[in-house]
Structure 1
Amino acid sequence: MLHHSVFLKFKSETSHEEQAYFIAESRKLAQIPGVMNLQVLEEFNATNPYTHGLGMDFEDQAAYDVYSNHPIHNRFVQEVWLPRVEKWQEIDYRELRVKS
């Protein structure tokens, strides 16, 4: 199991309406085959510079690769993400299986 997460801060000129649009559009990422457990997140502890986040799971690397190259994802990045996001931190984890 792979977990993909990205935390972001909107550009200062991004209005509340544009942020709502971003959030609505980000939910469409769940339509991509292989995306599981999509979460759209809002920060509630102001100790870090990121205000929002996205998280999702994938069964394996192949499913993650489908997501990364899918037209819905590519359109989201180019038309929704880049015009509105100032900075971000992407974090990807693979489930650690400990042998007993």
Structure 2
Amino acid sequence: MLHHSVFLTFKATTSEVEKAYFIAESRKLAQIPGVMNLKVLEEFNATNPYTHGLGMDFEDQAAYDLYSNHPLHNQFVQEVWLPRVEKWQEIDYREV
């Protein structure tokens, strides 16, 4: 089992409407074959510099690779993520 997490902060110019759009579009990533347990997260601890996050699981590396190269994921990155996200931290774990 693989777990993919990414934590982010929006650009200062990103409006609340755009943030809501981002969240709604993020949930569509669950449509990609192999994505399990998609979570869209909002930070509640003010000591963390990231305000939002996404987390999901994959059965194996092949499922993760399918997700990473899927047209829906690529479109999300280009049209939703890059125009709105200032900085991010991606963390991927494998169960041991």
Partner of 1:92: helix, strand, or coil?
strand
Report the count of equivalent residues: 96
Match of 1:82 in 2: 82
Q: Which amino acid aligns with 1:9?
A: T
Partner of 1:33: helix, strand, or coil?
coil
Rg (Cα) greater in structure: 1
Q: How far is 1:87 from its partner?
A: 0.0
Q: How far is 1:48 from its partner?
A: 1.3
Runs ≥4 in structure 1, deviation > 6 angstroms? none
Match of 1:47 in 2: 47
Equivalents in 1 of 2:22, 2:80: separation in Å?
6
What is the aligned-residue RMSD (CA, Å)?
0.3
Percent sequence identity is 89
Matches within 5 A, 1:3-42: 3-42=3-42
Unaligned runs of 5+ in 2: none
- TM-score, length-normalised on structure 2? 1.00
Q: How far is 1:59 from its partner?
A: 0.1
Unaligned runs of 5+ in 1: none
